[in-house]
Amino acid sequence: MRLNSDTFTFLKNLKKHNNKEWFDKNRKEYDIVRNDFIELVQKIIDETLKFDTSIGDLSAKKCVYRINRDVRFSKDKSPYKSSFAASFSRGGRNSHFAGYYFHVEPGDIFIGGGIWMPEAPNLQKVRQEIDYNLKEFIKIITKKSFQKTFGNMSGEKLSRPPKGYETDNPGIEYIKHKSYLFGTELSERDLNKQDADKFVAAIFKELSPFIHFLNRALE
């Protein structure tokens, strides 16, 4: 399944006219492209389940984020996001488990996954898993095909080793991370392919050993 080509036009216009009046006038178009995105996400879930059953019985609606922005603590009071996004993990988008991520925005399309800013107890579990199984972790993230797809791990890091770890720990540069994320950019052409759902899921499959490693620590 491919992404509705009208999606990018709608999101570009929404970014330009980010107000409730315009949105209400264009509600019908929004419903069409959003429903199309939800359908594509469901197809991606179905393909992902073929190699990662751990995500469980997810529905696309549990994975897709709302278009409305939370403006309570933001200087930018624009009411809507200019993107569609979905998170695939056990329990849906708000789960504490590591998972996959799909982001669609004009000029900024990317997929990837991991775990972003976990709470302290879960972060400690991940760090400990890396410390105990460093060789396995390095083997996963330095695999040739993995590196070709994702490159280096992203995510904020501490400037100094966290409590309980020394600077000479062989895995210290990984242990200092506060988030554990990999991602890759896509083009509109990638999502215009008839088998875009399979294309996205294939990249998730490459990422899946990393996701499984993180979730083993969190189980």
Do residues 164 and 197 touch, judged by C-beta distance below 8 A? no
pLDDT value of position 93:
76
pLDDT value of position 72:
83
Residue 101: its H or E element: strand 99-104
| Cα–chain center distance at 3 | 18
Pairing between β-strand 109-115 and β-strand 99-104 as defined by DSSP bridges: antiparallel
Q: What is the per-residue pLDDT across 89-129, written as a single tens digit (0 to 9) for each?
A: 987 777 889 999 999 999 999 999 999 999 999 999 999 99
pLDDT value of position 168:
96
Domain spans in the chain, listed from the N-terminal domain onward? 6-218
For the domain with range 6-218, which CATH number is right: 3.30.930, 1.10.3470, 1.10.357, 2.40.160? Answer: 3.30.930
CB atoms within 10 A of CB 37: 20
Q: Is 214 exposed, middle or buried (0-12, 13-18, 19+ CB in 10 A)?
A: buried
* Rounded distance between C-alpha atoms, residue 128 and residue 118, angstroms: 14
Show Cβ contacts of residue 81 under 8 Å, excluding neighbours closer than 6 positions: 65, 67, 68, 69
Per-residue confidence band for 74, with pLDDT thresholds at 50, 70 and 90: confident
Give the pLDDT mean for 13-29: 97
- Express as a percent the part of the chain with pLDDT over 70: 100
pLDDT value of position 95:
83
Q: What is the per-residue pLDDT across 164-217, written as a single tens digit (0 to 9) for each?
A: 999 999 999 999 999 999 999 999 999 999 999 999 999 999 999 999 999 999
pLDDT value of position 114:
97
pLDDT value of position 131:
97
Give the pLDDT mean for 48-77: 90
Give the pLDDT mean for 32-54: 96
pLDDT value of position 49:
95
pLDDT value of position 71:
80
Mean of per-residue pLDDT scores for the chain:
95
pLDDT value of position 91:
75
